[in-house]
Amino acid sequence: MAEPAQLAHLAQLIARHAADDGRHDSAIDFLFFGRSSRPSEPTYHAQWASFALVAQGGKALRMGEEIIHYGPGDLLLVTMDMPVRSCVTVATPEKPNLGIGIAINEERLMRYLDTFPLTSPLVEARTERGIAAHKVSPLLVDAVIRLIRLLDQPQDIAALAPLIEQEIFYRLLTGPEGGRILNMALAERPGNKVARAARWLRENFHQPLKIGRLASSVGMSASSLHHHFKAVTAMTPMQYQKQLRLNEARRLMMVEKLDAGTAGYRVGYQSASQFSREYSRFYGRSPARDVRQLAVGPEA
């Protein structure tokens, strides 16, 4: 478990690189910062394979019907891309929520495993949730702090950031969630097959879902894919696709100013009434009312 002094130091570093509320990218392509000075309304978004640390404040994330709360000293590990709903739960202007995120690059992770095979026996191939939270080790926090400090020495980033990234891989793989990461990385594991199916859905969510064809493409039966997909994501493949469609439709209406009918058709709905019905059920408001409300801010 990370020491309070470590977390306080991490919070100071994050505050320096995230002076304003919002997400802040960095000169290290897989490192970003987040800051919020007040609790937020739940937002729907795609969560990529990554891990996050909260140094100060608190957040909550909802996956399917499950809610995960995490705060200082917790590591949130996401082993595959999935649609989620998240919010800041603990934050004030004097003591804002401060966190960092590190994207897990699957290709670099696989190269690491090829170069440095695990010497301990492989953990049992269990199907586990694609998102989990647990206490972070001081050694992992130390690696993250050294990674952030590289931003003050930009000439060192190209040479040293990849080495610290490999150290982070090592700490994750040898930590309590190493099995989840292996399930994502190793092709024969159910978690990897689910991740490949989820990737296809993300890239083709506007197309009709043929579950048998999708299952065959990742080397599973339809029933096996359904079982393992729900075990990992807390959603069926159809529910996963529906959330992707609705999230994208909402973005199209808010950012590109499309009307509801056009947005629904763009993401794969053939029926405007079905789109409106499913949108209202998911977001709690009709498309038109939701867009109006988002434009003026949270309800009082």
Tell me which long-range contacts 11-16 makes (C-beta under 8 A, separation of at least 24). 11/55, 11/56, 11/98, 13/145, 13/148, 13/149, 14/55, 14/56, 14/98, 14/99, 14/100, 14/148, 15/96, 15/98
Distance (Å) of CA 27 to CA 17, 133, 278 = 11, 27, 40
Question: What's the whole-model pTM score?
Answer: 0.82
Look at 181 and 239; give whichever has higher pLDDT.
239
Residue for token pair 């009307």: 259
Output the average pLDDT for the chain.
90
Task: Please state the separation of Cα 1 from the chain's center in Å.
Answer: 22
Query: How far is the C-alpha of 219 from the C-alpha of 169, rounded, in Å?
Result: 27
- Spell out the domain ranges in the chain: 4-184, 189-300
Q: Quote the pLDDT of residue 297.
A: 62
- Give one DSSP letter per residue of 131-173, joined into a string: EEEEEPPHHHHHHHHHHHHGGG-GGGHHHHHHHHHHHHHHHHH
Which two structure tokens, joined as six digits, stand for 204? 């083709």
Query: How far is the C-alpha of 271 from the C-alpha of 207, rounded, in Å?
Result: 14
Look at 44 and 167; give whichever has higher pLDDT.
167
Distance (Å) of CA 297 to CA 6, 41, 162, 258, 283 = 36, 10, 41, 19, 15
Band the pLDDT of 45: cuts 50, 70, 90: confident
242-263 pLDDT tens trace:
999 999 999 999 999 999 999 9
Query: How far is the C-alpha of 22 from the C-alpha of 34, rounded, in Å?
Result: 6
Classified as helix, coil or strand, 90 is: strand
Q: Which CATH number does 189-300 carry?
A: 1.10.10.60
Residues 237-268: b if buried by 16+ CB within 10 A, e if exposed: bebbbbbbbbbbbbebbeeeebebeebbbebb
Look at 269 and 48; give whichever has higher pLDDT.
269
Band the pLDDT of 292: cuts 50, 70, 90: confident
- Count CB neighbours of 74 within 10 A: 20
55-101 pLDDT tens trace:
999 999 998 888 999 999 999 998 888 888 999 999 999 999 999 99
Look at 21 and 79; give whichever has higher pLDDT.
21
Query: How far is the C-alpha of 73 from the C-alpha of 76, rounded, in Å?
Result: 10
Contact at 8 Å (CB) between 9 and 143? no
Contact at 8 Å (CB) between 52 and 101? yes
Q: Quote the pLDDT of residue 299.
A: 47
Q: Quote the pLDDT of residue 151.
A: 98
Residue 202 pLDDT > 70, yes or no? yes
91-146 pLDDT tens trace:
999 999 999 999 998 889 989 988 987 755 555 555 578 888 999 999 999 999 99
Contact at 8 Å (CB) between 284 and 278? no
Same fold, 4-184 and 189-300: no
Q: Quote the pLDDT of residue 186.
A: 67
Query: How far is the C-alpha of 172 from the C-alpha of 166, rounded, in Å?
Result: 10
Query: How far is the C-alpha of 68 from the C-alpha of 181, rounded, in Å?
Result: 19
Residue 187 pLDDT > 90, yes or no? no
Any residues with CB less than 8 A from the CB of 35 and at least 6 apart, and which?
A: 14, 15, 18, 19, 20, 21, 22, 24, 96, 97, 98, 99
Class of domain 4-184: mainly beta
